Structure 1
Amino acid sequence: MRTRMIRTGLATLLALGGLATSQAVTAQAADNPYERGPAPTVSSIEALRGSYSVSQTTVSSLSVSGFGGGTIYYPSSTADGTFGAIAISPGFTAYQSSIAWLGPRLASQGFVVFTIDTNTTVDQPDSRGRQLLSALDYLTQQSSVRSRIDTSRLGVMGHSMGGGGTLEAAKSRPSLQAAIPLTGWNTDKTWPEVKTPTLVVGADGDTIAPVATHSEPFYGSLPSSLDKAYLELRGATHFTPNSSNTTIAKYSISWLKRFIDNDTRYEQFLCPLPSASLTIAEYRGNCPHTS
């Protein structure tokens, strides 16, 4: 009888424990319905591909207005519901091919990614900013994958002139959840109006948009109350973002996940601030993040 009572008690405790675990998981999911993909690790954010298989579709410049078309990369499965979305602009005289590596790399982590061509290859940053926003509007309102996107979770990225355009887009549309200018170039050096969490990426060997006159003042002028960070790549040039780069990918994924998806599982890679290393000359930021 005593043995049966012990067994019954254990079974009850196990059942209650299972119920508590189930409730905790449910509560966590309810706390953040935007969380996508498995729990991250250093290896998962450094990997060439994340957990999602990726499909892509080409958008002709003839079928859109406000920008020059591009390529949409997106998770093939709809089992996890909708995803956040990011538009990415190339730099001065460049085409989407120069930033194409970011498409499948970010999409495989659980985003819809639109690498765009611009109206002309010599557009200035203000024009690049407007084109990034036009691309997001097309993506969310007209594209063939619009039903896969959560329109409240959008971000922008760009290289060089497109990086300057990234800041312009964030300034113009405060509802954006994340911005990442990559070795950005802009004649405007001050951005106190930006309300979008921004990761500024510079390169220590950049002679076209030197960090002292571009990325550093961009970062320094962002509001002190804003979630912001400055990553300076070591042994890098202005054109480093044009090739597959683990450091850029690692911190871009973490930033986009943390702020577009509000996924605090990625906070561990951003705070405490990463230390200088073989690939990082300097990293600044405000920790812990507030949004």
Structure 2
Amino acid sequence: MRTRSRRPRKWFMALQSAAVLTLGLVAAPAAHSAQSPYERGPAPTETSVRASTGPFQYAQVSVPGAGFGSGTIYYPTDTGQGTFGGVAVSPGFLSPEILIAWLGPKLASNGFVVITISTNNPGDQPDSRGEQLLAALNYLATQSPAAVRQRLDPGRLSVIGHSMGGGGALRAADSRPDLQAAIPLGGWHTNKNWSNIRVPTMVIGAQNDFIAPNDQHSQRFYTSITQAPEKAYLRPVGTGHVNVGTGTPVVGKFVLSWLKRFVDDDTRYDQFLCPTPSGSDLVEYHSTCPHT
């Protein structure tokens, strides 16, 4: 795997424009110039980031386990825009893969190679789920079908997990500082200190969570993450422990925006993350949100 790049983590990058004179005539306005070589797809809107699918056609394939139970890979079929970042997703305690399967179409159709997994055992604890997330990323890069590997950038990888899978995402990020992003959804873990994480991490809690109460889990995780270059913590309105992982349009919006910003370095998604967003669909939102 590629060593984590030291690409600038800037939230606001000035867009450059110029009037081009050719033979004394003013040329037509220049098209948008990508600020990142990994920018994929059209400019986002509030509607597009909330939608269940994006602009890319995608395919899916079921795969056997290789350090994880089994999985499904979703990947863009486009071959004209270069390679895509990768994402591994774990469900929670006693939960089947189908509960986090919504992230496959959501993210693949927005330009990511995604593997959603079932775990070796439904009762696997968070640290085991973290190991299985990393095994799934390794599978994407080295053992997945050729059509998948041809579309994957193995140096731009990330993890997502729900509940104990969210705890697994934290463990994976703690173990692999070269990951580009981590997102625990209603995360659960007995460890509350994640000060060693150096991966941009978005902690998404629920408005009402009686299984992984925020003051015992998500909030404490966020507070303990002191070494990551960027971090955020939010609680969407109307979410409980289950549907913060099974997905709502608001959860999908922030998951997609975080991955686009830190896996793709796509500054077009800054608008959804910084300055600190607010609105009737958020109970609270906190982030490092740095300024240039």
Asked if 1:36 is matched to 2:40, the reply is yes
Cα contact 2:75–2:108 (8 A) shared by 1: yes
Instruction: Give the TM-score, by structure 2 length.
Output: 0.88
Q: Distance in 1 between matches of 2:25 and 2:85?
A: 38
Partner in structure 2 of residue 21 of structure 1:
30
Q: Distance in 1 between matches of 2:154 and 2:261?
A: 17
Which stretches of structure 1, 4 residues or more, deviate above 2 A after TM superposition?
10-15, 241-244
Cα contact 2:183–2:204 (8 A) shared by 1: yes
Asked if 1:57 is matched to 2:61, the reply is yes
Counterparts of 1:111-150 in structure 2, within 5 Å, are 111-144=112-145, 145-150=148-153
Partner in structure 2 of residue 273 of structure 1:
276
Any gaps of 5 or more consecutive residues in structure 2?
Answer: 1-20
Amino acid at match of 1:287: C
Alignment match of 2:179 (pick from 164, 176, 179): 176
Q: Distance in 2 between matches of 1:224 and 1:269?
A: 23
Partner in structure 2 of residue 4 of structure 1:
none
Alignment match of 1:228 (pick from 198, 210, 231): 231
Partner in structure 1 of residue 14 of structure 2:
none
Amino acid at match of 1:48: S
Cα contact 2:185–2:245 (8 A) shared by 1: no
Cα offset, 1:280, TM superposition? 1.1
Greater Rg by CA? 1
Q: Distance in 2 between matches of 1:282 and 1:242?
A: 18
Counterparts of 1:69-218 in structure 2, within 5 Å, are 69-144=70-145, 145-218=148-221
Cα contact 2:197–2:228 (8 A) shared by 1: no
Asked if 1:12 is matched to 2:23, the reply is yes
More helix by share: 1
Q: Which stretch shows the higher mean deviation, 244-253 or 156-165? A: 244-253
Cα offset, 1:242, TM superposition? 4.0
- SS of 1:92's equivalent in the other structure is coil
Q: Distance in 1 between matches of 2:80 and 2:255?
A: 24
Alpha carbons of 1:12 and 1:106: their partners in 2 closer, same or farther (altered >3 Å)?
A: same
Q: Distance in 1 between matches of 2:134 and 2:227?
A: 25
Cα offset, 1:243, TM superposition? 3.1
Cα contact 2:212–2:241 (8 A) shared by 1: yes
Amino acid at match of 1:54: Y
Amino acid at match of 1:41: T
Any gaps of 5 or more consecutive residues in structure 1?
Answer: 1-9
Q: Which stretch shows the higher mean deviation, 85-94 or 242-251? A: 242-251
- SS of 2:192's equivalent in the other structure is coil
Alpha carbons of 1:133 and 1:97: their partners in 2 closer, same or farther (altered >3 Å)?
A: same
Q: Distance in 1 between matches of 2:88 and 2:36?
A: 23
Q: Distance in 2 between matches of 1:234 and 1:143?
A: 38
Cα offset, 1:192, TM superposition? 0.4
- SS of 1:153's equivalent in the other structure is strand
- SS of 1:203's equivalent in the other structure is coil
Q: Distance in 1 between matches of 2:238 and 2:96?
A: 24
Partner in structure 1 of residue 5 of structure 2:
none
Cα contact 2:207–2:236 (8 A) shared by 1: yes
Number of residue pairs the alignment of both structures matches:
270
Q: Which stretch shows the higher mean deviation, 126-135 or 219-228? A: 219-228
Alpha carbons of 1:13 and 1:122: their partners in 2 closer, same or farther (altered >3 Å)?
A: farther
- SS of 2:204's equivalent in the other structure is strand
- Deviation per CA, 1:106-130: give whole Å up to 9, x if none: 1111101100011100111110000
- SS of 1:156's equivalent in the other structure is strand
Amino acid at match of 2:137: L
Alpha carbons of 1:13 and 1:248: their partners in 2 closer, same or farther (altered >3 Å)?
A: farther
- SS of 1:87's equivalent in the other structure is strand
Amino acid at match of 1:90: P
Q: Percent identity?
A: 55
- SS of 1:187's equivalent in the other structure is coil
